[in-house]
């Protein structure tokens, strides 16, 4: 039945003849292991093709969706980590096997007449392969791909005359974004595979025309099938085995934090096989940089292209010797520069520090993307960290607040400066208020202000009211103090649409077990709506909705407002930050309220419900 | 077995391993959606009883958060339900119907004369009791469970989806 079907098909296509011709091709001198590199490379390409098409079924090329889709493939899909890992390590394997293939061809003298054109096809294939690598690196739209590719296109922009135009066309405009990604994607999955197949067909056709370059003393011949096919299959399986091993060991491919054009210290490095070019760039600083980025690589490429023509200039053997020396020097030089680049990074503490920051951001992004309370927002992957109080809020805190304040002891102020404002960590939680009521003189509550406008001397005086109060007042029991602390902390949950009067007139407020103690201990100084009888001469901030988002927002924007710290002299007041965008203000407020994924279970939530 | 056969066998074996090594994870990857579970049916409060007129259907969107593969969307309409208040003395006070047509999943709307339900895609037609009026749909409109209406008069419906084209009403797991 099968035979009949095969015969029917053969009479209409002639496939048996084609298969026979392919498999029975005689190999002069017989099958050899040294001939496997070309086939191994083709198999590596087939693996890339299959895994690439699989990845395409879930990848989404836009600056807002790419990272999320890669994260989804790597962490949420059946064996997605394995498929992506194979593709990631496959690209590196292709470069390694390509290098071995090139060395074998040069050593065997297979680049020489009459195989010059095939050598040139091989060169073109090499550039296409490197092009795959370069374009694929950007596709996850993570920090690593973004910055490394930016550097690569900036190098292209240094090309005399047409550089800027090249950069603009490749990037798809003036800025990196959606157009860059779709262009790179188009090159990676459309143009480059097309070119690769085209050149590969030419390469193999010419290889069939000229046959293998047998060693000079080889005798006899052997058909391609089965021995050489077996060798090639072993090599193919070895390639796959190496890929699977690395994928298994690294549990897939790495994914850095989503691309952030605003990050300050990302240590961009290309893939390891481009590190030699990266290092060479450093050898030609300043105005001669183009020598390292353009002239030297260009010259190397030109010599490689012209390698088969050396035979025209020198005696055959000497030309071969020169060609081998050139390629060995090239590999050795590239290896030296690569090791130098790696060692430079390994011995550079600032690189390690930047890398640590980048790794922390990556870990945080991955944690948030997979967290049911966070996830990837529709606005895009970059908002995972931009809308994370612990990342974005902390960045603004460091920039705007930690010059004076501290956060869990961390401050940007100089050690010799007196500590100017209290520690913001866990602000207005029951624990924080409890500590304040127990020991207002503790270092974390210390605050100093300049003695006069522009003065370099500082005083605690206008802000040490709690310490003064503590000298004359204490709660009868710890339980009472805790109760008052929890009562005050519950103000942070008063909704923004409840006015002070509405809140104060709620009978539940006055029924609260801590109310009497609160009135007698806090209200002599603090004001809360019209409760209690604070001194007319206000000397403490109001406590209505203390620690709530609305209170914090106003405190940050207008600390000198009535009911806040308006009772202080202008030079004693905290500066207002009215220039913060609403989104940034929200991030900082949420950070101060411990409202972020991974914070300790909020003490606000544990305290008895605020009456409102 | 001679040497030639050994190479032949070895090629088939190793080539098979290579192919399977790639094909098995590849297929598992492509079939990934089969392993993903649908969210369980949830109850949504939709309307006050007094907002509904007896015998006059009204549609209500089901609003909820939605996880679409990698992206988590904030609350937005994820489905539609038709509510029809029943006359006094009926077995139930309100009937709820899934607006997804049991034929091929289009959204069922009111007919032009507003006297029946009609699907705009393939003309499935139903009475306000969800009964088919032609032979296009395989089964009546999918009735949804209405929670007992309490003193707050809130009509709450258990929202779920069912397999299309089937004569049986089979919940999608």
At B23, phi and psi to the nearest 5? -70, -40
Residues in B closer than 8 angstroms to A66, CB to CB, are none
Nearest to A229 among B11, B29, B70 (CB): B11
Q: Under a CB-based contact definition with an 8 Å cutoff, are residues A81 and A71 in contact?
A: no
**At CA A20, angle to CA A19 and CA A24, rounded to 5?**
120
**What are the tokens at B102?**
């049991």
Counting residues of chain B whose pLDDT is more than 70, the rounded percentage is 100
Mean pLDDT by runs of 10 across the 612 residues of chain A is 93 92 87 93 96 98 96 97 98 95 94 93 96 96 94 85 91 92 97 97 92 83 91 97 97 96 87 91 86 91 94 91 95 96 95 94 96 93 94 93 88 68 92 93 86 84 86 88 94 93 89 90 82 65 93 95 88 92 96 91 47 42
Residues in B closer than 8 angstroms to A72, CB to CB, are 69-70
Give the C-alpha separation, A305 to A126, whole Å. 12
Helix (H) or strand (E) holding A450: strand A449-450
Beta strand B154-159 pairing with B143-146: antiparallel
Give the C-alpha separation, A74 to A68, whole Å. 10
Helix (H) or strand (E) holding A459: strand A458-459
Cβ contacts from A onto B, under 8 A: 86
Q: Which of B66, B68, B72 is nearest to A383 (CA)?
A: B72
Distances (CA, A) of A369 to A83, A385, A410: 20, 10, 27
Nearest to B15 among A82, A227, A233 (CB): A233
Distance from CA of B12 to the nearest CA of A (A): 9
DSSP readout, chain B? Answer: --HHHHHHHHHHHHHHHHHHHHHHHHHHHHTHHHHPPPPPPEEEEEEEGGGSPBT--EEEEEEEEEEETTEEEEEEEEEEEEEEEPPTTSS-SEEEEESB-TTT-PBPEE-TTSSSEE-TTT--EE-TT--BSSSSSSS---EEEEPPP-TT-EEEEEE--B-SS-SS--B--
Q: Which of A85, A118, A87, A95 is nearest to A40 (CA)?
A: A95
Q: Under a CB-based contact definition with an 8 Å cutoff, are residues A73 and B15 in contact?
A: no
**For A263, left (φ over 0), alpha (ψ -120 to 50), or beta?**
beta
Residue of A39, A61, A69, A79 to mutate, interface with B, max B Cβ within 10 Å = A79
Binary contact (A54, B30; C-beta < 8 A): yes
Helix (H) or strand (E) holding A334: helix A316-346
B29 in contact with A, Cβ within 8 Å: yes
ipTM more than 0.95?
Answer: no
Average pLDDT of chain B to the nearest whole number: 94
Residues in B closer than 8 angstroms to A82, CB to CB, are 25, 29
**What are the tokens at A389?**
């109080």
pLDDT at B169 over 70: yes
Give the residue from chain A lying closest to B73, CA to CA.
Answer: A378
Determine the pLDDT at residue A601: 60
Give the residue from chain B lying closest to A242, CA to CA.
Answer: B18
Give the C-alpha separation, A607 to A602, whole Å. 9
Binary contact (A226, B70; C-beta < 8 A): no
Give the residue from chain B lying closest to A75, CA to CA.
Answer: B70
Instruction: Provide CB contacts within 8 A for A395, sequence distance 6+.
Output: none
Binary contact (B30, A375; C-beta < 8 A): no
Residues in A closer than 8 angstroms to B69, CB to CB, are 58, 69, 72, 76
A157 in contact with B, Cβ within 8 Å: no
Q: Chain B 101-130, CB below 8 Å of chain A: which residues?
A: none
Show the DSSP H helices in A409-514 as ranges: 430-438, 465-472, 478-489, 500-504, 507-511
Q: What is the number of residues in chain A?
A: 612
Binary contact (A54, B70; C-beta < 8 A): no
- Three-class SS of residue A283? helix
Nearest to B8 among A226, A236, A374 (CB): A226
Give the C-alpha separation, A255 to A259, whole Å. 11
Give the C-alpha separation, A471 to A189, whole Å. 75
Residues in B closer than 8 angstroms to A229, CB to CB, are 7, 11
Distance from CA of A594 to the nearest CA of B (A): 22
Within 10 Å of residue A581's Cβ, how many Cβ atoms? 9
Sheet holding B42-48, edge to edge: B42-48, B154-159, B143-146, B94-98, B71-85, B58-68
Residues in B closer than 8 angstroms to A69, CB to CB, are 69-70
Binary contact (B10, A233; C-beta < 8 A): yes
Give the C-alpha separation, A118 to A96, whole Å. 20
The whole-model pTM stands at 0.89
Residue of A32, A62, A67, A378 to mutate, interface with B, max B Cβ within 10 Å = A378
Q: Under a CB-based contact definition with an 8 Å cutoff, are residues A497 and A503 in contact?
A: no
Give the C-alpha separation, A550 to A573, whole Å. 19
Binary contact (B72, A377; C-beta < 8 A): yes
Determine the pLDDT at residue A141: 97
| DSSP-assigned letter for residue A611 | P
Binary contact (A377, B30; C-beta < 8 A): no
Distances (CA, A) of B134 to A97, A508, A536, B107: 66, 61, 81, 17
* Range name among A269-283, A584-598, B48-62, B140-154 with the lowest pLDDT average: A269-283
Give the C-alpha separation, A222 to B103, whole Å. 65
């Amino acid at each position: 039945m099968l035979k009949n079907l095969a015969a029917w098909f053969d009479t209409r296509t002639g496939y048996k003849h084609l298969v026979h011709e392919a498999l029975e091709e005689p190999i002069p001198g017989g099958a050899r292991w040294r001939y496997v590199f070309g086939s191994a490379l083709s198999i590596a390409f087939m693996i890339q093709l299959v895994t690439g098409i699989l990845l395409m079924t879930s990848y989404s090329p836009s600056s807002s969706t790419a990272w999320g889709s890669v994260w989804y493939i790597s962490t949420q899909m059946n064996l997605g980590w394995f498929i992506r890992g194979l593709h990631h390590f496959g690209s590196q394997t292709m470069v390694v096997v390509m290098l071995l293939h090139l060395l074998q061809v040069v050593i065997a003298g297979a680049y020489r007449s009459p195989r010059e054109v095939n050598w040139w096809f091989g060169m073109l294939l090499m550039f296409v392969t490197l092009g795959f690598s370069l374009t694929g690196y950007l596709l996850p739209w993570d920090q690593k791909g973004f910055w490394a590719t930016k550097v690569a296109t900036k190098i292209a922009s240094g090309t005399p005359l047409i550089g800027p135009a090249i950069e603009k066309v490749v990037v798809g405009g003036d800025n990196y974004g959606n157009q860059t990604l779709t262009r790179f994607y188009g090159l990676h999955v459309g143009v480059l595979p097309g070119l690769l197949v085209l050149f590969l067909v030419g390469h193999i056709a010419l290889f069939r025309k000229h046959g293998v370059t047998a060693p000079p003393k080889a005798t006899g011949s052997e058909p391609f099938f089965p021995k050489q096919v077996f060798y090639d299959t072993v090599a193919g399986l070895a390639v796959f085995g190496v890929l699977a091993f690395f994928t298994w060991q690294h549990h897939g491919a790495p994914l850095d934090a989503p691309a952030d054009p605003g990050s300050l210290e990302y240590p961009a490095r290309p893939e390891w096989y481009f590190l030699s070019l990266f290092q060479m760039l450093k050898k030609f600083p300043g105005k001669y940089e183009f020598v390292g980025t353009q002239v030297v690589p260009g010259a190397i490429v030109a010599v490689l292209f012209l390698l088969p023509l050396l035979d025209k200039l020198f005696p055959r053997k000497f030309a071969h010797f020169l060609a081998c020396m050139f390629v060995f020097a090239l590999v050795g030089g590239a290896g030296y520069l690569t090791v130098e680049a790696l060692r430079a990074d390994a011995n550079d503490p600032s690189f390690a520090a930047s890398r640590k920051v980048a790794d922390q951001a990556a870990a945080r992004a991955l944690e948030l993307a997979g967290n049911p309370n966070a996830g990837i927002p529709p606005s895009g992957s970059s908002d995972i960290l931009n809308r994370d109080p612990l990342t974005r809020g902390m960045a603004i805190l460091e920039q705007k607040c930690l010059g004076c304040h501290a956060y869990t002891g961390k401050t940007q102020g100089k050690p010799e400066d007196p500590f100017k404002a209290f520690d913001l960590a866990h602000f207005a939680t029951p624990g924080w208020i409890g500590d304040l009521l127990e020991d207002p003189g503790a270092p974390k509550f210390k605050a100093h202000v300049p003695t006069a406008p522009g003065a370099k001397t500082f005083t605690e005086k206008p802000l040490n009211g709690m310490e003064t109060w503590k000298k004359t007042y204490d709660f009868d029991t710890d339980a009472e103090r805790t109760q008052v602390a929890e009562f005050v902390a519950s103000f942070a949950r008063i909704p923004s649409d409840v006015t002070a009067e509405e809140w104060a007139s709620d009978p539940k407020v006055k029924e609260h077990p801590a109310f009497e103690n609160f009135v007698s201990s806090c209200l002599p100084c603090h004001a809360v709506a019209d409760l209690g009888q604070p001194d007319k001469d206000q000397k403490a901030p109001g406590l209505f909705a203390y620690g709530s988002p609305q209170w914090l927002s106003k405190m940050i924007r207008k600390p000198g407002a009535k009911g806040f710290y308006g009772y202080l002299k202008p030079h004693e007041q905290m500066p207002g930050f009215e220039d913060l965008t609403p989104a940034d203000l929200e991030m900082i407020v949420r950070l101060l309220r411990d409202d972020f994924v991974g914070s300790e279970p909020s003490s606000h939530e544990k305290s008895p419900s605020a009456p409102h | 077995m001679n040497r030639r056969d050994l190479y032949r066998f070895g090629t088939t074996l190793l080539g098979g391993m290579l192919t399977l090594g790639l094909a098995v994870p590849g297929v598992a990857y492509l079939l990934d959606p089969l392993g993903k579970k649908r969210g369980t049916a949830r109850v949504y409060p939709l309307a006050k009883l007094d907002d509904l007129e007896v015998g006059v259907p009204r549609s209500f969107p089901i609003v909820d958060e939605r996880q679409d593969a990698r992206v988590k969307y904030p609350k937005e309409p994820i489905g539609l339900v038709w509510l029809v208040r029943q006359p006094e003395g009926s077995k139930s006070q309100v009937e709820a119907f899934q607006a997804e047509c049991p034929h091929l999943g289009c959204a069922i709307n009111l007919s032009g004369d507003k006297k029946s339900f009609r699907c705009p895609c393939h003309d499935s037609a139903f009475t306000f009791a969800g009964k088919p009026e032609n032979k296009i749909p395989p089964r009546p409109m999918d009735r949804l469970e209405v929670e007992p209406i309490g003193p707050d008069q809130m009509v709450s419906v258990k929202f779920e989806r069912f397999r299309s084209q089937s004569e049986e009403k089979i919940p999608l797991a």
